Structure 1
Amino acid sequence: MPSSFSLPPADLSTFFLALFALAWFLPRTVLATVAVKRPLPPGPPTGWFGNFNLPSSYQWLHYAKWKELYGDIIYVYVLGNPIIVVNSAQAAEELFERRSRKYSSRQVQHRPVRTMVVELMGWDWLFSSMPYGRRWKQHRSLFRRHFHKLLTSDYYSVVTKETYTTLRNLAHSPDDFAHHLRRTAAAIVMKISYGHEVSDKGDIYVTLADEAMQGLGMAGIFGTFLVDYLPFLKYVPARMPGANFKRQASIWRKKTRAMIDQPFQAVRERIANGTAIPCFAQKELEKLQQDVNSDPDYETIIKNVAGISYAAGADTTVSTLLSFVLAMLVHPEVQTRAQQELDDILAMDRLPTFADRSKLPFIDCVVWECLRWNPVLPMGLARLVTSDDEYNGYFIPNGTSVLPNVWAILHDADVYPDPLIFSPERFSDQKKNDDLGINKLPWPAFGFGRRMCPGRWLAYETVWFSIACILSVYSIERCIDENGLEIVPEVAYTSSLLSRPKPFKCRFIPRSERADELIKGTAS
């Protein structure tokens, strides 16, 4: 008889997984049982291991419907993970603003909340995924130092140059409008962060970032992959059957690292050979070299923040601009009114500038409605409760994941009448709105409390300038079918973390010969 007993490799893996599962479920099931003695928020029926009927796509729409059944906050329990969905502005303000100390983290008790994205895919450098604490504050502080509200004017020249490139590109190949908008959003951030000039047709760094962002979009919503609920699955060997998530995560991780490492290394090389171009990374690296008492880890923070600028800025900007184009096709009367306002100020004699903003209030309304109508991050980003709490008599246990349903908040019919309709006019009289308690400016599109997007000022002004410039010289018109009838595009959006309109067609037609001259004049 053999002197010892051993399992085949496959059985050994199964054995250890079973042990991990037992170690994971047992304490959480006990805690959940104890928690039930205190009233939890209402939610769908839950079995011993939780609810397995959660929506796998367009979660924000499903949770918004659940609000009608269960109320402003909904509790679900899945595989040892308590989850609360926040469906109203009132609850979001109370939890994320007034109780921000408890609701600002992404991690609790050293347990990552986003195992797939943070640990397996390598997005630990994104400070929106970091736990609230010293490291997060270092990253956010450095970001704010360069993207504060009072500093946005420093980037007007970059935004203007790249937006003018968009106007010319739309004249040359209007069918590629989505690519042109994407290129411009990327070019602005790459120039500011790395001093890199993005070419008109293709760019290696933009391609790297796009591939990485596609992975983030697919995996970004909490619970998309089972490993988010069962973190011990990260130990499953990639070669095992059913471990495709590990293999896919490895592919995405390489793209994520390339996105953050390669453009930063290019800046370092330019500094070394004396050809540095003024930008965020160059300024901070040269400052670091002059500081003999610098933190040895600070270079990593600089690299992370440079990457964060792209990840946070480029995709959100282009998604909002695509919503704008779609809205002009569905609601041409909005375009007519906006162009009349532009013509009253510009008289088709010049393109708009940032100095014109106070004289173009309806363009502001259009931007706000683009942000509200279909928010770029409809489910926000998951947070962790760092200590037991209570809201409206309901118990919220420590370690609960909290998901802000931004879409539901910005489509509350009591706050935004006719919420599915694109209506910039709703924001035209804010004093009246304040008196009535309706049509609040959609700041939730940028997040909440301490986790609110610190780059929102530059993002807003970039979108504003692009919309003002495009409408001043172009008419965005519907395509015509073979029968001579206009094609009204469907208002349909992707179900990913960063939601954007599904592909659609349209025409960009210069409004007049004078408009054509203004477009050509941007090349000088």
Structure 2
Amino acid sequence: MFTLLPDALSPFCAALLGLLAVLLVGRYCLPSNRHPPLPPGPKTTWFDTARLPKEYQWLTYAGWKEIYGDVIYIRVLGNPMIILNAAEAVNDLFDKRSTNYSSRPVRTMVNELMGFSWLFSSMPYTPWWRKHRAVFQQHYKASNLPSFKPVILRETYMLLYNLAEGQDDLFHHVRRSAAAIVMMLSYGHQIAPEGDIYVTIADKALSGLGQAGIFGTYLVDYLTFLKYIPAWFPGASFKRQALEWRHMNQLMLNAPFEMVKQKMAAGKAVPCFLTDQLDRIFMSDADTSKEEQLIKNVAATVYAAGADTTVSAILSFFLAMQMHPEVQVLAQKQIDQVVGSDRLPSFDDRDDLPYVDCIVWECLRWNPVTPLGLARQVAADDVYRGFHIPKGTTILPNVWAILHDENMYPDPYRFNPDRFSNKAQNATLGINELPNAAFGFGRRTCPGRALAFETIWITVAATLAVYNILKPKDEHGNTIEPDAEYTSTSLSRPKPFKCCIMPRSKEALSLVKQTLDGTV
């Protein structure tokens, strides 16, 4: 049985039904102003994050490519995110539409709580960021590389010497070598062979950056209001951890900077990036405090980016050589023919050692240092391949997936420097492009890529000239097969491994000592 509504409610009901009718007509009968559909992706509710990978995100996202394609959309706790799994999509957006895709998302955990807002590689695309990049390029541009090479050479030869003294500390020696180069170039500071207080500070600060570096690792990246929770509040361990990391990264930023200023005041500073820039400031009418902050930021960014990227690639080299002795033999044959036995390789040999180039490129491709690149943020609504990309969306370029695309890099999981040997044939077949994706894309491409490549190159050439890198043996003399396992952090590097580093001859080892002593 139906009951009529009271007369007093009839006008309200009529109005409600009328409004509903208007909405239905507008929804289905009038021309639509709706956006195109969003890209495909796994379906999640606002609170459902169970499908998101907790580690090695790049592998999960690469697997999603088979289901959803190259451009994948997912909404995480109300935050839109797109993963780009192919070079074509990345180039279309980051290169061809760079004005809209060159900014960075604000990272609540990293930038605000941990205090890494000075890291200019992660700054939004603003005039302040452009000033940082301009200052960097002024000093570290490719044309200035010849003036850096003596520093790089000396620290590379010091690495060879240190390996002879204690090969069990491979990770420490490689880390020290990379740090020594950037500390001298940026701060004019010579670190001791056994280590340095500034390097220790930076290691602790960058450890936190590696753990929090992938966007969304911490819930506060999605729910930014959580940053206001007091550190003592139950469940706010992320705040306490952030405060600890913040202390170390502020030391990393300020301590070496103040050290250079004190040396300049005492007339004992070594010419470097900071002395050049501080002299420029003192001779200008610029806002001293703001300009000092800028060059302080750039110097610390050079250390953070330069030391970590080269360390990872060089460790990949040592790991790959023991796993692929045939590559080592080919490279050493070429080095012996070009360099001979009475000196160590130098940068002047590069044109005559093309296979060393191939090894470096393959180290950068095989397991890229930043497998998920650095996140971008869309500045304005866009349409790509018929899909709507909303303003403010976070874009993740899956560098690992791009550099393991079997259509571009046949047999992509194999370490194979030969893939880059025949440039003409590769160009004809459209395969084995140089893995420049390892250095980023578009306007946010790593501005220090030339310095990084040269550092890795001379390390590879000099190491192979002096040493054989072999698989280790256990106490019973059995060969230990290495595992190519990498960390799942944003700055990925090989997990600790052992290898046997043996001098190729007594003469080669003595040549290292003679070179460092300046007798050659």
TM-score relative to the length of structure 2: 0.92
Q: In the alignment, what sits opposite 2:103? A: 105
How many Å separate the matches in 2 of 1:171 and 1:493?
26
How many Å separate the matches in 2 of 1:491 and 1:394?
38
Pick one of 235, 248, 265 that aligns with 2:228.
Answer: 235
How many Å separate the matches in 1 of 2:198 and 2:152?
19
How many Å separate the matches in 1 of 2:236 and 2:389?
33
Pick one of 329, 337, 345 that aligns with 1:336.
Answer: 329
How many Å separate the matches in 2 of 1:386 and 1:124?
20
How many Å separate the matches in 2 of 1:523 and 1:468?
17
1:143 aligns with 2:141: no
Of 98-107 and 370-379, deviating more is: 98-107
1:348 aligns with 2:341: yes
Pick one of 304, 307, 310 that aligns with 2:303.
Answer: 310
**Structure 1 35/138 Cα, relative in aligned 2: closer, same or farther at 3 Å?**
farther
Q: Deviations over 1:441-469 (max 9, x none)?
A: 00000000011000000000000000000
How many Å separate the matches in 1 of 2:286 and 2:381?
41
SS at match of 1:99: coil
Pick one of 396, 417, 423 that aligns with 1:424.
Answer: 417
Q: In the alignment, what sits opposite 1:460? A: 453
Q: In the alignment, what sits opposite 2:178? A: 185
Q: Deviations over 1:416-458 (max 9, x none)?
A: 0000000000000111111111000000000000110000000
Partners of 1:385 and 1:400 within 8 A in 2: yes
Q: How many residues align?
A: 486
Partners of 1:384 and 1:401 within 8 A in 2: yes
Pick one of 346, 353, 358 that aligns with 1:360.
Answer: 353
Unaligned 5+ runs, structure 1: 1-33
Partners of 1:411 and 1:419 within 8 A in 2: yes
Q: In the alignment, what sits opposite 1:201? A: 194
1:291 aligns with 2:289: no
Offset of residue 35 of structure 1: 11
Partners of 1:281 and 1:306 within 8 A in 2: yes
1:265 aligns with 2:264: no
Q: In the alignment, what sits opposite 2:44? A: 46
Q: Deviations over 1:279-306 (max 9, x none)?
A: 1001110111111345541111010001
SS at match of 1:275: coil
Offset of residue 516 of structure 1: 1.9
Offset of residue 36 of structure 1: 8.6
Identity of aligned residues (%): 56
Q: In the alignment, what sits opposite 2:57? A: 59
Partners of 1:50 and 1:77 within 8 A in 2: no
Q: In the alignment, what sits opposite 1:95? A: 93
Greater C-alpha radius of gyration: 2
Q: In the alignment, what sits opposite 1:18? A: none
Partners of 1:51 and 1:77 within 8 A in 2: no
How many Å separate the matches in 1 of 2:46 and 2:441?
33
Q: Deviations over 1:3-52 (max 9, x none)?
A: xxxxxxxxxxxxxxxxxxxxxxxxxxxxxxx9996311110112244544
Unaligned 5+ runs, structure 2: 1-31
Partners of 2:36 and 2:383 within 8 A in 1: no
Q: In the alignment, what sits opposite 1:225? A: 218
Partners of 2:35 and 2:388 within 8 A in 1: no
Q: In the alignment, what sits opposite 2:408? A: 415
TM-score relative to the length of structure 1: 0.91
Q: In the alignment, what sits opposite 1:159? A: 152
Q: In the alignment, what sits opposite 1:85? A: 83
How many Å separate the matches in 1 of 2:516 and 2:83?
49
Partners of 1:51 and 1:76 within 8 A in 2: no
SS at match of 1:324: helix
Partners of 2:374 and 2:396 within 8 A in 1: yes
Pick one of 126, 137, 152 that aligns with 1:133.
Answer: 126
How many Å separate the matches in 1 of 2:357 and 2:314?
13
SS at match of 2:490: coil
Offset of residue 523 of structure 1: 2.4
Q: In the alignment, what sits opposite 1:15? A: none
